[in-house]
Every structure is written in C-alpha cells, then in structure tokens.
Structure 1
Amino acid sequence: MTIPRQETDLYLPIKQFLETRDYRVKGEIKDCDIVAVKNSGGDEQILIIELKLKLNITLLMQAVERFTLSDDVYIAIPKNIPIYKKKSKQVKKLIARLGIGLIIVDIQKSQSYVEVVCNPKDYQPRKNKPKQKALLKEFSTRIGDTQEGGATRKKGGLTAYRQRTIRVAQYLNEYHQATGAEIHKNIIEKQANSILYQNYYGWFDKIQRGVYGLSKTGKEELIYWLAIQKNSN
C-alpha cells in the first residue's frame, strides 16, 4: 500500500472513478476540492467531495458547510489512516449521523481502489441558491480541468475569470491596444470592458479613455498562465 503524501494524491483515483459513472469532474471549484456534475433526468446532479489525509473535526465541519451547495456531499480519506483502521465502525456511524457520504481510497503501486462506504442521507439543510448558481457557473465556464483537487493555490487558480482575462490579454498582446468594444466584437468576450476596467490582476495599462494595452506585468504573467492553461487541457 502506498501512503498518500498530499491531498492531490487522492484526486486522480476519485476523478477516474466518477468519470466511469458519467460524471464530469473538476478540482478546486469555489473552494470545493472536487465537484462532479451529471445530467440526471434533465437536472444537474452535483457531488461535492472534500479530500483529507486525516479525519478531523475541521474536515467534518467543512463537509457540513457544503450542504448549502448540494445534497450529495462526501469526504474522501486514505484507507490506511490510523483512526479508520482501528475504529472504522465508529467512524462510519459518526459520518452517517451527519448525513455525509464517505469514500475510501486505497492507493497501491500499480492500481488505486476507490470505495464508496456510505452515501449522504438524513441531514438536508436549505440550499444557498446564489452560491449553488455561482458554483455551477464556475464549473460550466471554466475550460478544462485546470486544478487538481486539494492543491494549494499559491498564485491563485486558473479560474474561468482568469481564463477570460487571458483571452483579452492575448488579443492585446497581438494588436497592442484596443477598446473593450473592439475586443468584445473580435473575440466574442462580453466581459471585455469590465475585465479591462477592473484590471484585477494588473495586466493592463490605460492608454487613453477607453483604450488599453498590455502592461509589463501582463506580458510576463501571460506567458506563465498560457503554459498552465496548455498543460490543463
């Protein structure tokens, strides 16, 4: 048995497990380690999974908070953690009482095994519809699976918003300066004006009223993020 050294070691086995069950899977969506979405009878079925190398109260509280986004919330832990090896029956009872689902990951050298020990049930608090809508929007608009679930985002993640900003920056890198309206028209980016005006990442310089170019920071960081984006597709 291989001992997972970081939460991202659990990500790929779970992603592969869910994809065989027709889920679309992405990591680090709105602070959720894993979000999996499947169309079921015309509705979007959302699974949220939190990854941890240890079972503790912080993980349980985090999972309970995710019930505002979905009825189907799971925690995923390695099979070989001491508390589960010694007290698996008690662990299962505790998690079931909270209405949380439990996934166990057994990582071997040649093969990893994923077992759904129990499914969510009983505890069903009211959903936060705006947060749920934001979660699905980020999931659907982000291109590709750009972050491993459980990864620490030192420079921020390759979110859908950053991907849109990259498209605007690429345009300015090629044409040197433009208005938001021009960018909107030529690359069909409806948020071009807002992205330029807010300049959240400091990538743009205002040349004159309504006209922007790519800043020195933008030129340098565009190279980095294009490489990240390429590797994520």
Structure 2
Amino acid sequence: MKETNLYEGVKKYFESLGFLVRAEVKDIDVCAIKEDLLIGVELKNNLTVDLLVQGTLRQKVCDLVYIAVPRPKRFKKNREFSNTLHLLRRLELGLLFVDVDKGMAEEILEPAYFNLDKARSALVNRRKALLKEIKGRSLSLNQGGSSRTRLMTAYREESLKAVAILLEKGSVAPKDLKELGLKSTILRDNYYGWFKKIARGTYVLDDCKSDDYECYRDYISEFRSVLFLM
C-alpha cells in the first residue's frame, strides 16, 4: 500500500472539523490549520521507531502532531496496544487509524501534554513495591533479560533463609524467624510448600519438597554461615 492512499481519509477527517488541509508542506506529509492552531500529520504504513522520530521532530514547528497508519485488519485492544498508546502519550503524539477502503480516518488518541509527575503519583504503591523488592535482596543471582526461568526474588531468598535455619535447628517457631529479622509469616504462608506444621507454632522442613530447593544448596549453605542461629 502506498502512503498516499492514507491522505484522503486524513484530509476528510480534518476538513470535517473545519481545518484547512494541505499536503507535503516543508517535509511534513499533511498540515491542517484552523485559526492559530497548526497540526502536523505523518503518514506511514506501519508504526515504527522512525515514524515516532519523525513525529517528535514535527513537534518543533507544529502545535500538535498526529501519526496516521492503516487501521489494522485484526485490531485488538490488548496489552501490546495499551503499551503502544502509553508510548505515544509519553511522546505527546496523537494517533489516527485510516480505513483506506472507506476513505475515513478515526482518532484513536488525541495529542496532549503528558504530566509525568501525575503519572508517577498514580503508581506510588507500585514504586514502593519495587523499592521494597530491591532492598529485600541480598544476592544478585538473576541475569537481566531472562524469561521463562526461575528468578531469585526477595521472597524466595527469605524462604531459603528459613530453610537454612530449619536445616540447622530442625524445627522452629515463627517468632524464631522474627528474632532473626525474617518475616514470621513465611512458615505459615508456605508459598513454595517447603515447610510442614507438626504442632501449634512449630514447623519443620517437608522432606518431600527437598528437591525444590536443592538447586539452591550453595546459597542455603552461605545463609547458614552468616545467619545468627539460636
């Protein structure tokens, strides 16, 4: 498909809003002007990094900038699409989907100022959780870019410390973990199924689950050597 096929739909869209529309003005694919408002539109067959770069360059001279692409044949509002809209919002770019067959354009996203401080304040709890996870790790065992692999989280690390204590002591109570600086709920929650309650307030390791933490044997040994055991 030629990019020129997108022009008619974009032209009709802005003309319906009372804009004067002109094409190929000083390297800008489409310009729309109404009173003192100047809008630039970049036309492309695909939403690419180059297109985003072009859009941000047009912001130097235009009040608002849209990027226009053909409407996807199998359009779904999924996570990938939401992430794309987030990126466009961050760049303060608008998005138009063009139905070439009908010669019509639809505004998917209006270009607007992006308030980063406001966006961060809305996710303050997620930020706190991120910082808590970072501070909760004493080891750096994960490799950046990993996927579909078992990761060492702060919770897993703390659970392994509980395993180290149980290997040393045989049985412990939640208060024993708390005195050593661990969460007392680790044993009760038993997220990984490594622990077994044998009496009220008393836990031991579940031997049937030992294979699950065997791969961390070296780290468990390290924890045993540094923890102050009762």
Shorter chain as normaliser: what TM range?
0.3 to 0.5
Relative to the length of structure 1, the TM-score reads 0.45
Higher relative contact order (CA 8 A, sep 6+): 1
Relative to the length of structure 2, the TM-score reads 0.46
